[in-house]
């Protein structure tokens, strides 16, 4: 196996695909540079575009022999004001401004708000944020068809700019009709993760899970302050979590966002859910060949916090330097993980195992691997959950995740420290001896261990049944 495809780091990299990265050549270069998961943003592009990108990723996977995960990120509801008679107005702080259901083009005194649910749910004293938070309005009174507001922060406002309502839980489902069509398309094309936007309640996640029906894992994007009120239940019901700092930063004060990020990462780790930190990580590299020092520090902070993955958005989708962005992110992550302070942090922040056999085995596996100086832990897993449980311990040696299905191996591509493989004969194992021999062979072939070195194998008996991790074995590679 090529050393280029055996990552020299544990934290994974997610990269968004777009106009700047939608050729086989660029995709392969990005993968070689360090991308583990490719994100498709369904806010942009047609189904035909996404189908072609999926085809190219699967061909790349076949050429390289490495499982690659695809994250289909659905758009969610987009709340926007209507149009203006002259296309643009300027709102002045202190002036009154009305939002209503009238379809007449707006002016400096009013504009259409084509979302009666906002008018119904909002209350005097609540705030509305327009154009990604650049303008702020405070609601002074309301009627059945309008909201009267006072401009708190003014500025230019043009057609179809976005509306955020940070103070109110809106009676709007996370999935629109477009999202349902996009989900159906993505599931039909076999993606590994569905990125779920606009989550406010546990019910939003439950609905997406029912649609996915196990065909893909649900990655809940925490981007609404309302989700923070029920965060533990939302994460528990999710398969993975994304800290979507862009939208979260619009609706929360800037000083709150770093604390919320740490809270989400910490809770996701405790609950054993992969967690991705996203948005504006290397934003300046959309147009510059190198990041700012603050951006490099931002990436490093996410790694120190123990995030499973860090994500690039516009940097790789539409930026001028997509490959360079991945390369520098790879370098930052790898450098942090060589630091003794990071290693101490991972040891100190291990969550207590749950009171069940699978968690006890996972914790013991990490401890035994350290004690005996094992070169690798081999997680023999049907669904990927065994590898996920072991990764939660942040072990000091690599985790080789062996699954009998390629789909499960792909899902592990976002999980911290896991080098995933789909292996022939996985489901035919009948004894622990079969499992150990296959684990040792895979560890040797993937260059994680040489003859005479130790590995630790975790598996479940009976074999081929998900959720039965109950066996640990120390073995010598022959």
How far is 169 from 120, CA to CA, in rounded Å? 11
Residue 462's pLDDT is 74
CA diameter of the chain: 79
> Helix, strand, or coil here: 255?
helix
Burial class of residue 348 (count of CB atoms within 10 Å of its CB; 0-12, 13-18, 19+): exposed
How far is 388 from 383, CA to CA, in rounded Å? 10
How far is 93 from 96, CA to CA, in rounded Å? 9
Strand extents, DSSP E, 251-340: 275-278, 309-312
Q: What is the DSSP letter of 4?
A: G
Domains plus CATH for the chain?
3-76+173-342 (3.20.20.60), 88-164 (2.40.33.10), 357-476 (3.40.1380.20)
Both tokens assigned to 377: 């832990």
Contact 422, 449 (CB under 8 A): no
Contact 432, 471 (CB under 8 A): yes
Q: What is the DSSP letter of 133?
A: T
Contact 82, 114 (CB under 8 A): yes
Contact 378, 402 (CB under 8 A): yes
Half-sphere exposure at residue 146, Cβ-oriented, CA atoms within 13 angstroms: 15
How far is 41 from 50, CA to CA, in rounded Å? 9
For the entire predicted model, the pTM comes to 0.94
Residue 354's pLDDT is 82
Along the 478 residues of the chain, how does pLDDT read in single tens digits? 344 478 999 999 999 999 999 999 999 999 999 999 999 999 999 999 999 999 999 999 999 999 999 999 999 999 999 999 999 999 999 999 999 999 999 999 999 999 999 999 999 999 999 999 999 999 999 999 999 999 999 999 999 999 999 989 999 999 999 999 999 999 999 999 999 999 999 999 999 999 999 999 999 999 999 999 999 999 999 999 999 999 999 999 999 999 999 999 999 999 999 999 999 999 999 999 999 999 999 999 999 999 999 999 999 999 999 999 999 999 999 999 999 999 999 999 998 888 888 899 999 999 999 999 999 999 999 889 999 999 999 999 999 999 989 999 999 999 999 999 988 765 667 788 999 999 999 999 999 999 999 999 999 877 766 667 889 999 999 9
How far is 205 from 79, CA to CA, in rounded Å? 20
Burial class of residue 424 (count of CB atoms within 10 Å of its CB; 0-12, 13-18, 19+): exposed
Q: Which residues are annotated as catalytic?
A: 39, 80, 221, 279
146-153: strand order across its sheet: 110-112, 96-100, 146-153, 135-142, 127-130, 163-164
How far is 378 from 398, CA to CA, in rounded Å? 9
How far is 63 from 216, CA to CA, in rounded Å? 23
Residue 12 to residues 47, 67, 178, Cα–Cα distance (Å)? 27, 13, 30
Q: What is the DSSP letter of 413?
A: G
How far is 11 from 310, CA to CA, in rounded Å? 7
């Amino acid at each position: 196996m090529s050393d280029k495809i055996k990552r020299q780091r544990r934290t994974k990299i997610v990269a968004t695909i777009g106009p700047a990265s939608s050729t086989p050549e660029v995709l392969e270069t990005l993968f070689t540079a360090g991308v583990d998961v490719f994100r498709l943003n369904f806010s942009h592009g047609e189904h035909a575009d996404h189908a072609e990108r999926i085809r190219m990723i699967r061909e790349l996977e076949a050429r390289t022999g490495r499982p690659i995960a695809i994250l289909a990120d659905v758009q969610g509801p987009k709340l926007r004001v209507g149009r203006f008679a002259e296309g643009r107005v300027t709102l002045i702080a202190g002036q009154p401004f009305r939002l209503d259901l009238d379809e007449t083009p707006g002016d400096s005194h009013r504009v259409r708000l084509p979302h009666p649910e906002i008018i119904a749910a909002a209350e005097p004293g609540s705030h509305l944020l327009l154009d990604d938070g650049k303008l702020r309005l405070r609601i002074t009174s309301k009627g059945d068809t309008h909201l009267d507001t006072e401009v708190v922060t003014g500025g230019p406002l043009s057609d179809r700019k976005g509306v955020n309502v940070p103070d109110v839980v809106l009676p709007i489902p996370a999935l629109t009709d477009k999202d349902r069509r996009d989900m159906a398309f993505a599931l039909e094309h076999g993606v590994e993760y569905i990125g779920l936007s606009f989550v406010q309640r546990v019910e939003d996640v439950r609905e997406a899970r029912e649609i996915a029906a196990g065909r893909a894992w649900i990655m809940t994007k925490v981007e609404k302050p309302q989700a923070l009120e029920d965060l533990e239940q939302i994460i528990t019901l999710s398969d993975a979590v994304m800290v979507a700092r862009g939208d979260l930063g619009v609706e929360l004060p800037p000083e709150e966002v770093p604390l919320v990020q740490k809270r989400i990462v910490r809770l996701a780790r405790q609950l054993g859910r992969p967690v991705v930190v996203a948005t504006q990580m290397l934003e300046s590299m959309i147009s510059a060949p190198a990041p700012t020092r603050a951006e490099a520090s931002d990436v490093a902070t996410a790694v120190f916090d123990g995030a499973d993955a860090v994500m690039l958005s516009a940097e790789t989708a539409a930026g001028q330097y997509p490959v360079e962005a991945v390369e520098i992110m790879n370098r930052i992550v790898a450098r942090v993980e060589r630091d003794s302070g990071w290693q101490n942090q991972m040891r100190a922040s291990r969550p207590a195992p749950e009171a069940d056999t699978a968690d006890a085995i996972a914790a013991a596996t990490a401890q035994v691997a350290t004690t005996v100086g094992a070169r690798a832990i081999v997680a023999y897993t049907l669904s990927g959950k065994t590898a996920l449980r072991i990764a939660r311990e942040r072990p000091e040696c690599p985790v080789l995740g062996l699954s009998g299905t390629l789909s499960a191996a792909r899902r592990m591509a976002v999980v911290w420290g896991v080098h995933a493989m789909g292996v022939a004969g996985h489901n035919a194992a009948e004894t622990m001896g079969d499992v150990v021999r296959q684990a040792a062979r895979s560890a040797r072939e993937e260059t994680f261990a040489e003859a005479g070195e130790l590995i630790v194998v975790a598996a479940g008996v009976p074999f081929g049944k998900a959720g039965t991790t109950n066996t640990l074995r120390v073995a010598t590679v022959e």
